[in-house]
Amino acid sequence: MSRRAFSLGAMSILAAFLSGCASNRELPMTTLAPKSDLGQWIYHLFIEVTLWDALILAIVLIAFILAVFIFSTRVGEAAPPKSAASDLKLEIAWTVGPALVILMISVPTVRTVFRSQPRVAPADSLHIRVIAHQWWWEFQYPDSKVITANELHIPVNRPIRLDLVSSDVIHSFWVPQLGGKRDVVPGQINELTFEANVPGMYPGQCAEFCGDSHANMRFRVMVETPEQFAEWTKLQQAVPVAVDQITDASVADGAKVFADSPCTSCHRIDGVSKGYIAPDLTHFGSRTTMAGGIMANTPDNVAKWITDPQALKPGALMPPLGLRGQQLNDLVAYLESLK
Ligand code: HEC
Ligand SMILES: [Cu+2]
């Protein structure tokens, strides 16, 4: 390969890499910009271990370079340098040395593990039950009875205690900026405790391969001020307008389409249906994303989703139900009206 071709190739790879970074800047999946106490502990641990590693690397490199100069055969020197078959002092040194290195890494690690996993939830913590499904996340707030999907709202500067359960296979709850991964294992309740300290929206992702749409099992955490969180909770607690009270004609027709369709056997809408194996749609219109956070919640996307869920999300456990035309439009208008 010519030099020019090589540098062109290298530059285009670099450009692709940099633009990839740029497009992610808005919602960074990074552990290097922690926004919670747990995230910060892990970040500091990473920096601490990296510094120790850098020191060790420097020592090894210096020793190596010195050895090359001191022990190499000189020009005109006939015999190779003599080698020792065994050297007790050296052997002790290279046993104790690595043991110390492991100690230096493991002490702060174990300390962080214990610090980040209190057995008893901190006083005043907000309890939330997280249920992982193939391939979406359900969030239940036992105190306020709110149920939502794929968008977890939490208040800033308040301890959060998540109880993580799975309804099918092993998943893993991971929000890089808020802290470490926690596996979600069927038949077991795992806990995660943290306190977010900067309001904002943080992307999350299932981090344990769980089937066809594992990569599409995303979610968002909205860290809000206490006032915003209280307001959101109030809206989620509101009972939807009764079907016979709906004023908009299209929305009212859509409500009928929903109530008369198999949608009701999987989805719950407060006062309308009791399905529980799929996302609760009582306040679907208030969510910004849908289907495991893979796309924006827009009328267009909802219509495409209902028409053919598997086309948008491989393996999605929702069947296409053959709705089209006016029926579909009305249904979408109804779903989006559920604020
Ligand atoms: C067999 C059960 C089942 C039926 C029937 C069903 N769905 Fe679903 N639906 C699901 C599942 C499961 C998901 C979650 C898919 C995912 O994200 O992987 C879902 C997701 C959705 C979502 C996105 C929700 C969100 O917040 O991400 C909407 C909207 C929706 N369904 C509407 C409907 C409508 C309207 C009907 C009736 C025409 C219907 N569904 C019928 C199982 C079902
Ligand atoms: Cu998963």
CA of 117 to the centre of ligand 2 (A): 22
Q: What is the pLDDT of residues 246-269, one digit of tens each?
A: 999 999 999 999 999 999 999 999
Q: Is the CB of 268 inside a 6 Å radius of any atom of ligand 1?
A: no
The larger pLDDT score, comparing residue 20 to residue 116, is at 116
Q: What is the pLDDT of residues 48-96, one digit of tens each?
A: 999 989 999 999 999 999 999 887 777 777 776 677 778 899 899 989 9
Q: What is the pLDDT of residues 209-228, one digit of tens each?
A: 999 999 999 999 999 999 99
Is the pLDDT at 332 greater than 90, yes or no?
Answer: yes
Is the pLDDT at 2 greater than 90, yes or no?
Answer: no
Q: Is the CB of 215 inside a 6 Å radius of any atom of ligand 1?
A: no
Strand order in the sheet with 151-155: 151-155, 218-224, 200-206, 171-174, 182-184
155 is written with which tokens? 């208040």
Task: Summarize the confidence of residues 160-174 as an average pLDDT.
Answer: 97
Which pLDDT band, with edges at 50, 70 and 90, does 26 fall under?
low
Beta-carbon count within 10 A of 98 CB: 11
Is the pLDDT at 5 greater than 90, yes or no?
Answer: no
Give the model's pLDDT for residue 251: 95
Q: Is the CB of 132 inside a 6 Å radius of any atom of ligand 1?
A: no
Nearest CA to ligand 1 atom 5: 263
Give the model's pLDDT for residue 22: 42
Name residues whose C-beta falls within 8 Å of residue 336's C-beta, 6 or more positions apart in sequence: 284, 285, 297, 299, 302
Give the model's pLDDT for residue 143: 95
Minimum-distance ligand to the CA of 214?
Answer: 2
Is the pLDDT at 23 greater than 50, yes or no?
Answer: no
The fraction of the chain above a pLDDT of 70, given in percent, is 91
Minimum-distance ligand to the CA of 330?
Answer: 1
Q: Is the CB of 319 inside a 6 Å radius of any atom of ligand 1?
A: yes
The larger pLDDT score, comparing residue 296 to residue 28, is at 296
Q: Is the CB of 200 inside a 6 Å radius of any atom of ligand 1?
A: no
Question: Same CATH fold, 243-337 and 27-63+91-221?
Answer: yes
The C-alpha atoms of residue 214 and residue 7 are separated, in whole angstroms, by 37
Task: Summarize the confidence of residues 101-111 as an average pLDDT.
Answer: 91
Task: Summarize the confidence of residues 158-177 as an average pLDDT.
Answer: 97
206 phi-psi bin (left φ>0, alpha ψ -120 to 50, beta other): beta
Give whole-number Cα distances, 46 to 32, 68, 109, 112, 234, in Å: 9, 32, 9, 11, 40
Mean pLDDT estimate for the chain: 90
Top CATH class of 27-63+91-221 equals mainly beta
Q: Quick one: which atom of ligand 1 is closest to the CA of 335? A: 29
Which pLDDT band, with edges at 50, 70 and 90, does 27 fall under?
low
Domain edges within the chain:
27-63+91-221, 243-337
Minimum-distance ligand to the CA of 169?
Answer: 2
The C-alpha atoms of residue 114 and residue 104 are separated, in whole angstroms, by 17
Which CATH code is given to the segment(s) 243-337? 2.60.40.420
337 is written with which tokens? 């009206």
Name residues whose C-beta falls within 8 Å of residue 141's C-beta, 6 or more positions apart in sequence: 126, 127, 128, 129, 147, 233
140 is written with which tokens? 């239940």
CA of 209 to the centre of ligand 2 (A): 6
Minimum-distance ligand to the CA of 211?
Answer: 2
Which pLDDT band, with edges at 50, 70 and 90, does 4 fall under?
low
Q: Is the CB of 331 inside a 6 Å radius of any atom of ligand 1?
A: yes
The larger pLDDT score, comparing residue 206 to residue 97, is at 206
CA of 219 to the centre of ligand 2 (A): 11
Q: Is the CB of 313 inside a 6 Å radius of any atom of ligand 1?
A: yes
Q: Give residue for tokens 């008893």.
A: 120
Is the pLDDT at 13 greater than 50, yes or no?
Answer: yes
Give the model's pLDDT for residue 28: 81
Give the model's pLDDT for residue 153: 98
Residue type, 269: I
199 is written with which tokens? 């309001």
Nearest CA to ligand 1 atom 29: 302
The model's pTM: 0.87
Q: Is the CB of 182 inside a 6 Å radius of any atom of ligand 1?
A: no
Nearest CA to ligand 1 atom 13: 278
